Amino acid sequence: MIAELALTLLLLLSPLALGQTQIPQFQYQTDEQFHEELVVRPLAGDHVNTYFQFTTRWHYGVHKNLYHTQLTPRVIAEILQTYDVKELHIGLTQGLWRYETWGYPIVEATGGAELWAWFSSPNLTDDSVNKQWMRLANVFSGILCASLNFVDNTNSIAPKHIFRPQFMESGNRSHQFVRYATLPREIVCTENLTPWKKLLPCGSASGLATLLNSGYIHNTKYHSLGVKVRTLCDSDDPSNCLVELTQTANLVYDLKLLEQSNTDFSLRRLFGMGLNGYCEMASSSKIYVQLNEQGERFQLTPTPQEEVLSTVGGHNVLFGVYDIQQQFEEPGARLFNIAWLGPKGNSKREHTSPPPLYAHRYLLGNGQKHGRIATEVTNTHYEPLPVVLMELVPWYVHAYLHTLRISSKPQHLHEYTSNELKFSLLHYAPGKQRELPTHLEIGFMLPARSSALITIEVDYLLLKWLEYPPDANHGHYIGSAVIGSQLPIGRNYTALPLEGYLFQDSFNASQPAYALTLRTEALIVSLPTPDFSMPYNVICLACTVVALAFGPIHSVATKLIIVERQTTIPRNLLRKVVHKLTSRFSRRSTNTVLNEQQNNEQNGKGKEKENEQEEKQLDQTQSCDKQAHM
């Protein structure tokens, strides 16, 4: 009894005892850091863009095993260790980003699932990278509950010009490999959001992630979940490295679709609830709200703790900053809500001027055999812009390189003129049926204030019976084109600079040129689809025809038709009825009746042929017996 008491006492005291020897907490935080940010900015046409960014930065030395993680999810660390991945981008997106009216997003993504990764290791070969790539996609299909396991060699390519690694180049480019794939059909729903939130240090328990409620996210016009991992190494000491995991959620709300009719909005209205605190693991927890739009200024309640004017490439944007950690430090802090109030009487926001470069894509041609893929890129800037376009055409669509045309027109004209642009860069990897997609990259200079129409002719393939998906009539997708460029001006440009990792790093980050990649719409083609119920119909019809034909033919071929002469019909009505009944009853023994009749007739004719007749009758009875038996 006393011993037990002593033990419990010891147990009670032990945390205190340990606490004394414990190393102070702040030393850990220098090693791994987590930041959570929310950016709210109004877009044209009563839309609001909310952008969540959760960044985990982990500085690890070589002496340290990658498996000892604190804030970084261990699964990410394991992937980096196992698959020689240096950089990884995954996007799961529903909806289409409208470049013309909304400007550029902070993070680019294409509809459906998009995945690209850089591999780097001294002993990698192309084949081994292909294997690593498929395994990597399989792992993420489990982590994010998406069908990324459909990524294989038939829909992956190795982009040559459009993507560049962000990690330090080892000098030897032969050891760097990139793979890219899209799954345009992929649906994004709560089942993807749930595991995505589980990668965060605080999960969905506290912090800004509590605002991401499935019911409110999937109400949006555009939503995109992103996971980006990159390894950055010191340029002087390659063993001194950082792992940076950025999880993004980019949402566009249409205020007209939300309940209220006015265009004022609040956190509660967008997300269904206010903020109840910050993630305790976070080094910083901030909300940035864009305060002005085309000279208009919004009123915020409560007023932001700080206002920051950001000038990027001569374009000014004013942001209000809320530090959530500071907000909840005050005693008695409750649910935190921010309300926006637009200027009265002028709530309809004008359309912003279109960004310097945007693109659209569509299909030309009719019928289910041939078509043309057309991509239209427009430059609204007053200088020519360099453009690189990448097409990934799946194997079930044949593209013909010799039909590639780039025609151009001044922006104000409707018709494309006959003058063609010359491309200065071309990379083409032909596709192979059921094995490889067609990969095309072209680079050209797009003249000032003009559009270019890039067309390539394609044939649609007739698939094999089992290659059609269960919903074959839905059509097949061709993933979006990726367009890369370099902008001289920072208007509409909101992406973070590559050296930075927090949203505040984009403040006043003027650069000589702004690297940009755009995604176009995905296309849906209806391949020649057979009528799958056709065999069934044919079988049914053929069987009916055969059955209908068989009956009469069989009876004609086997039955003997004999005319029955009814000579002995009684005249009396009662007797007639009785006779009918008896004759019907005795139809089975028709032969005997026939015999009698014939006998009667024969009696009149004389008895000469009696023997012959008897023989014939015998034959008849036999044949009739057979028939009856059948």
Partner 1 sequence: MLHKALLLVLAIIQINAAEYDTSILPEAYVDAAQHSTHTNNWAVLVDASRFWFNYRHVANVLSIYRSVKRLGIPDSQIILMIADDMACNARNPRPGQVYNNANQHINVYGDDVEVDYRGYEVTVENFVRLLTGRTQNGTARSKKLLSDAGSNVLIYLTGHGGDGFLKFQDSEEITSQELADGIQQMWEKKRYNELFFMVDTCQAASLYEKFTSPNVLAVASSLVGEDSLSHHVDPSIGVYMIDRYTYYALEFLEKVQPFSKRTIGEFLQVCPKRVCISTVGVRKDLYRRDPQKVPITDFFGAIRPTRVSTDRINVTLANEEDFYTDFEHMPPKKQFKIIIQPQFIAKINK
Task: Please identify, using beta-carbon distances, which residue of 280 and 467 lies nearer to partner 1.
Answer: 467
**189: contact with partner 1 by CB under 8 A:** yes
In the list 232, 245, 317, 461, the residue contacting partner 1 (rule: CB under 8 A) is 232
- The beta strand positions in 62-101, using DSSP E, are 85-94
Does residue number 161 form part of the binding site for partner 1 (CB under 8 A)?
yes
Which residues, in sequence order, are CB contacts of 388 under 8 Å at separation 6+?
A: 161, 162, 425, 441, 442, 443, 483, 484, 485
Question: Vertex 354, ends 353 and 356: CA angle to 5°?
Answer: 120
Question: Scanning residues 505 to 564, which ones bind partner 1 (CB under 8 A)?
Answer: 513, 515
127 forms part of the interface with partner 1 (CB under 8 A) = no
Give the one residue of 94, 247, 290, 480 binding partner 1; rule: CB under 8 A: 94
Structure tokens at 92: 């799961």
Identify whether the C-beta of residue 262 lies closer than 8 Å to the C-beta of residue 341.
Answer: no
Query: In angstroms, rounded to a whole number, what is the distance separating the alpha carbons of residues 223 and 227?
Result: 14
Which of 19, 20, 21, 174 lies at the binding interface for partner 1 (CB under 8 A)?
Answer: 21
Stretch that binds partner 1, among 228-236, 264-272, 369-377, 619-627 (CB under 8 A): 228-236
The interface with partner 1 within residues 253-312 (CB under 8 A) comprises: none
| Touching partner 1, residues 43-72 (CB under 8 A) | 59, 64
Closest separation in Å from C-beta 149 to partner 1 = 7
Spatial neighbors of 101 by CB under 8 A, at least 6 apart, are 43, 44, 45, 351, 352, 354
Pick one of 42, 112, 159, 165: the residue that binds partner 1 (CB under 8 A): 165
150 sits near partner 1 (criterion: CB under 8 A): yes
Contact mark string toward partner 1, 473..512, x via CB under 8 A = -----------xxx-----------xx-------------
DSSP reduced 3-state for 361: strand
Distance CA 77, CA 139 (A): 13
Using CB under 8 A, which of the segments 45-53, 183-191, 370-378, 502-510 binds partner 1?
183-191
- Residue 343 lies near partner 1 (rule: CB under 8 A): no
In the bound complex, what is the minimum distance in angstroms from residue 531's beta carbon to partner 1? Answer: 14
Burial (CB count <10 Å: 0-12, 13-18, 19+), residue 71: buried
What helix, strand, coil percent values describe the chain, rounded to 5? 30, 30, 40
| 373 binding partner 1? (CB under 8 A) | no
Decide whether 83 or 340 has the Cβ nearer to partner 1.
83
Q: Is 171 in the site for partner 1 (CB under 8 A)?
A: no
Among 410, 469, 530, 535, binds partner 1 (CB under 8 A): 469
Q: Which of 130, 213, 276, 620 binds partner 1 (CB under 8 A)?
A: 213
Using CB under 8 A, which of 187, 541, 548, 577 touches partner 1? 187
Stretch that binds partner 1, among 46-54, 147-155, 322-330, 375-383 (CB under 8 A): 147-155
From candidates 5, 12, 16, 23, binder to partner 1 by CB under 8 A: 23
Closest of 88, 28, 26 to residue 58, by C-alpha = 28
Torsion of CA 269, 271, 276, 280, to 10 degrees: -150
Binding status of residue 227 toward partner 1 by CB under 8 A? no
C-alpha 308/C-alpha 294 separation (Å) is: 17
Neighbours of 423 (CB within 10 A): 17
Decide if 291 contacts 300 (C-beta within 8 A). yes
> Which of 45, 73, 195, 313 contacts partner 1 by CB under 8 A?
195
Instruction: Indicate the residue among 129 and 458 with the shorter CB distance to partner 1.
Output: 129
Radius of gyration of the chain (CA): 40
**Residues 225, 251: Cα–Cα separation, whole Å:** 9
Supply 316's token pair. 């000014």
Q: Quick check: 81 and 121 in contact, CB under 8 A? A: no
CA distance 599 to 606: 10
431 binds partner 1 (CB under 8 A): no
Q: Which residues bind partner 1 (CB under 8 A)?
A: 3, 7, 18, 21, 23, 27, 30-31, 59, 64, 94, 134-135, 138-139, 141-143, 145, 147, 149-150, 161, 164-166, 168-169, 185, 187-191, 194-195, 213-215, 217-219, 232-237, 240, 242, 386-388, 424-425, 443-445, 469-471, 484-486, 498-499, 513, 515
